[in-house]
Each structure stands twice: as structure tokens, then as C-alpha cells.
Structure 1
Amino acid sequence: MSAFKIGVMVDSFRLGLEDGIKKAKEVGAAGIQIYATSGEMAPENLSPQRRKEILDMIKSNGLVVSALCGDLGGHGFTVPEDNPARIEKSKRIMDLAKDLETNVVTTHIGIAPEDHNHPRFKVLQEACEQLGEYGDNVGAYFAIETGPEKAVTLKNFLDSLSSKGVRVNFDPANFAMVTGDDPVQGVYTLKDYIVHTHAKDGVRKKPINPEWVYNRLQLPEGEIEDVNFKDYYEEVPLGEGDVRFSEYIKALNEVGYNGFLTIEREVGADPEKDIRLAVNFLNSKLKELGL
């Protein structure tokens, strides 16, 4: 049996929860990740009975939950006055994760600055300390998705935290597409923090300011609509982009990660086709590497 497990972001099928779960089983996944921020999967909309029903549905299809996605969008945790509500919502998503028998909630927090004296650094640090402490208390991880900043910058930010509850959801395509950082080297840099990964691929066409992508900042008002992000980067099916998957998976194995490779397909006209190809691609890579 492989040291790795293949997962699918169930929302990528665009079929709804129940049909998405069935489709995940059909394509050969072992687990699923689910968005849990709004709609039927928002914590405030799920009674204890409904949580049990969803977990039973997942288990009856032979699946487990690899993680929940708790990405609240927008500016993450960079605006102090918004953080109390966002932190409270994130804690409830961690509670839901535990009810669904996973201990990982993934999210974007905003861009961690290199300079520890930057005002945003302290804002993010304070928010993550609260979330990490809560994670420590309930046995869950609040996993920051890679991509907005280089791996060494994210590591320095994580090293500044006192709690163990804040970790990393490693997305190699975000590095390849946006920051231009090397995902393979990023695995070694962030090895002590990785608790979940996304299997995603992309190409970088020319440099772009990550602030435009993740914060929609630093462009005059009204001009962000004029930016065609496809001129800068593009998500593509697994194996067709800049991520060197053989080296990437080998690096994950070398640092001791043996969790999920969760396929995330955010674009494309036929996500099911792309996800099926991705499952086959990952299985072939794991076989090729003897993993």
C-alpha cells in the first residue's frame, strides 16, 4: 500500500455534497476535502444530527475526510477589526472538522510579510496565536495554504508562533504560479509544518505581485478589473504545468509526510475528466517511485 493517500476536493466536481462524495469514490479517491464556510456545510447550518448523517454518508462510501477548507476569502486575517468574527468562525470550523473525524482546516490568512516589524505581521501573528491555541486545545490544525509568500518567509512567520496548532497545507502550484518559488525546495523548508497537501499544477507566464492575487491590493481602485490574470499564470491539469511532481512527491516522502495528496481543480470545463486524469497521474507517479 502506498505511503500516500489520494484525496479530492469534493467541491471541485461542482455536483453538490452527496453527488460529489459518490463521484469521489467512483474516481478512486480515498478521502475528500470539503469547503465549510457557507451554505449547507457552514458550521452554523449543521445540527449535531446532520453532522452525523454527513459523516455516515462519507463512511458508507468508503471515504474519510482529509481536511475541511475554512478559507473565508478576501483579505484573510489582515484587517484587525474583522478578525474577532473571522477567528470565531474559524474555531467553529475546527469544531466541525473534529465532528467529521479530521483534524485539519486549511485556509489562506493573507500575505505574511518578510519584515517582522511590518504592521501586518503582528496582526496575522495575533490571529494565528489565537487559532493555534484553540487548535492545541481541541486537537486540530489550522493549516495555512502556501503560495502568497515564499516558503522561507512562511517558515519564519510560523517559527514566530508559540502554539503548535498552526501548520501548513502545501499547494505546489501556488508557489509555481504566483511567487515563482520552487515547490520541491519548499517541501524541505516547511517540512516540520506540513499536515496536508493539494495536488494541483500550473504555469507561470510572467511575474505578478502576489498582493494583486491574494489581497487585491496595491492597484488603483477600478484597475484590478482590468488585470487579466491568465496573462500571468494559469492552473492546468496535473502533469502539464511547472510542478515537477516526481521530485515533489519524493521530497514529501523524504521529509516523512505520508498523508493526503488532495486533488484540487478550480478551473476547467470538465472537472470530472481532469480529476480522473489526476488520480491516474498520481497513481502512476507513486508506482514509478515505488511509493
Structure 2
Amino acid sequence: MSVNIRNPIGVIVDSFGVGVKEGLKKAKEVGAEGVQIYAVSGEMDPANLNAAARRELKAYIDSLGLEISALCGDLGGHGFQDKSVNVEKVEKSKRILDLALDLGTTIVTTHIGIVPEDRDGEVFAVMQEACRELNEYASSMKAYFAIETGPETAAHLKGFLDTLGGRGVSVNFDPANMVMVTGDDPAEGVRLLKDYVVHTHVKDGIRRKVVDPRMVYGALGYEPMDHAKIAEMVSTGQFFRELPLGEGNVDFDRYFTALKEIGYNGYLTIEREVGDQPETDIRKAVQFIKSYR
């Protein structure tokens, strides 16, 4: 390979579809060094984990020789576009970050909604207000809310982040989302967002047709896409298709080179959202990344 990397490898536990504890065991079995876990509802909802339960879970993760690369705190809907629900969503996001810190990570990944083109519009201002509050909270704890790339180009996302006054709201870089939805170049995106990249996904895919990002991610005043519809869109492959690593249009030589150039030494976390054999695909993905070592 043309680039040599030493980044630790992570896996999204939920990709296995077997629950948190079994998923943690699977992550260890496939050769991951860290894990990302959804922490929005169910057993990982911060409200359902008291101090003792958090200590027990952290001890269990430690016993497997794993660490948490990040928690996923994506609250769905339109992110932070809707002012009427933002107080509740911002508060929930803060509680997820508190949980992350208790479990030994400083990163919560999330979607904030599509950043509008109109900087003078109400939705831009509403999103900016919410993200500034999140930025302030995260910064006070030397932690990060990391926005997942995909709904907009890297340049447009950077323009928004630059208005927040800090790095408490940063970036979870997903190259496949860019390739599949916006058609943006992941390597150049990494370079543009170099000051903000705190976590990454390793995922692959192809784009078949130009698609309005609102069809994928939803937007205020536009029909939202729920997870079932997104899964259907991905599985049919009408507009784009997620594929196992190395089978899509993400140029991993260039992507990994760009991450190395900006000095990123954090996790490369494998995400597999579709497919009938997630464990098999994840095992192959771990080996794919290791081939660059």
C-alpha cells in the first residue's frame, strides 16, 4: 500500500445487531481495539445507567481489553433545526456527553441536520444557537460533539463550524457519506476540516445518481426520512449503495494519506449499516485496515 498507518481500529457495536454486551465480545473477537456505542435509548440511555451501572460497564469493557472510541448521540429528526425541541435535545446531548466521560471517552458523534445555504435564515440561526451551547458545554469539559459528514460539502460544513467560536463541536469524518450523497472528495474534505476532525468512520459506497440530501437526511419543512426508509433506499441502490470496504468509490489510499497529513492519530471506526452478514463484513474490514499497517 502507498500509505502506512498506525491508527487504532474501532467498530460500532450496534452493527452486529446482538445487543451491547454480546456486541462488545464480537468486537474483541474480530480484532478491534475500540468500540463506538449508540447511547440514545434503551439500555444505553443515560437515564437508565446510574453511577454503579456506569462503573460496571466500564469495568467490563476494560476487562475485554477494549476502550470506547466514541458514543453515538444522534437524536434523529431534523437534528437541531427545530427550535421547539432544541431545549430538550440539547439537554439530552449534554447527558450523553456526561455518560461518555464516565465511560472514558471525550467524544459523542451526532447529526445536527443539514446546514442551510442561507446564512441569514431562521434555521441557520436556530442551529447555530444550539451548537454554540453544545460547543460551550463540551469545551468546558475538554470534550467534543462530533458532527458526522455527509449532508453537506466539507467546505460548507467548515463555514458553519467556524461561526461557533471553538472546537467543542467538531467532526466525525465519514468518507462514504460524502461519496454517496454529496459527491464530495473525502481526501480534500479531510484537509479542509483538518482543525475539526476528532473521530472517523471507515465505510465504503458508490453514488449512482445525484440525490437531494434532504431525501436522505430530512429537513424542516421537507418530508423526513426515518431509519427504515433510509435502509430501503440504501438496499435498493437507486441513488447510492453502501458496500464492503474496498468495493466502493472511496479512495482509501488518498483518504488515509490525508488523515496522516493532518496528524490525525485517533480511531478508524468501522460502520456497517446494511448487509446480511455484518460480522463477516466487519472481520474483512478489520483486515482491510490492517493491510495498511
**Smaller-chain TM-score range?**
over 0.9
Partners in 2 of 1:221 and 1:77 — Cα distance? 14
- State whether structure 2 residue 151 is matched by structure 1 residue 148: yes
- State whether structure 2 residue 252 is matched by structure 1 residue 245: yes
Partners in 1 of 2:221 and 2:272 — Cα distance? 28
Amino-acid identity (%): 58
1:137 to 140, 161, 165: 140
Q: Runs of 4+ in structure 1 displaced over 2 angstroms?
A: 216-222, 227-230
Larger deviation, residues 114-123 vs 21-30? 114-123
2:77 to 68, 74, 77: 74
Normalised to the residue count of structure 1, the TM-score between the two structures is 0.94
What does residue 49 of structure 1 align with?
A: 52
- State whether structure 2 residue 39 is matched by structure 1 residue 32: no
Deviation of residue 79 (structure 1)?
Answer: 0.2
RMSD: 2.0
Residues 1-29 of structure 1 deviation map (CA, whole Å, 9 limit, x = unaligned): 95301000011011111111111111110
Normalised to the residue count of structure 2, the TM-score between the two structures is 0.93
**1:184-263 → structure 2 map (5 Å cutoff):** 184-215=187-218, 228=233, 230-263=237-270
Residues 82-105 of structure 1 deviation map (CA, whole Å, 9 limit, x = unaligned): 000000000000000000010000
What does residue 97 of structure 2 align with?
A: 94
Deviation of residue 116 (structure 1)?
Answer: 1.3
Number of residue pairs aligned between Structure 1 and Structure 2: 285
- Match for 1:257: what amino acid? Y
Partners in 1 of 2:220 and 2:275 — Cα distance? 26
Deviation of residue 118 (structure 1)?
Answer: 2.4
Partners in 1 of 2:95 and 2:243 — Cα distance? 33
Contact 1:6-1:279 within 8 A present in 2 as well: yes
What does residue 271 of structure 1 align with?
A: 278
Q: Which runs of 5+ in 1 are unaligned?
A: none
Deviation of residue 196 (structure 1)?
Answer: 0.1
Partners in 1 of 2:99 and 2:194 — Cα distance? 27
2:122 to 119, 122, 125: 119
Contact 2:77-2:224 within 8 A present in 1 as well: no
Residues 239-291 of structure 1 deviation map (CA, whole Å, 9 limit, x = unaligned): 1111000110011000110100000000110100000000000111x23xxxx
Contact 1:58-1:64 within 8 A present in 2 as well: yes
Partners in 2 of 1:204 and 1:8 — Cα distance? 24
Residues 145-168 of structure 1 deviation map (CA, whole Å, 9 limit, x = unaligned): 000000000000000111321100
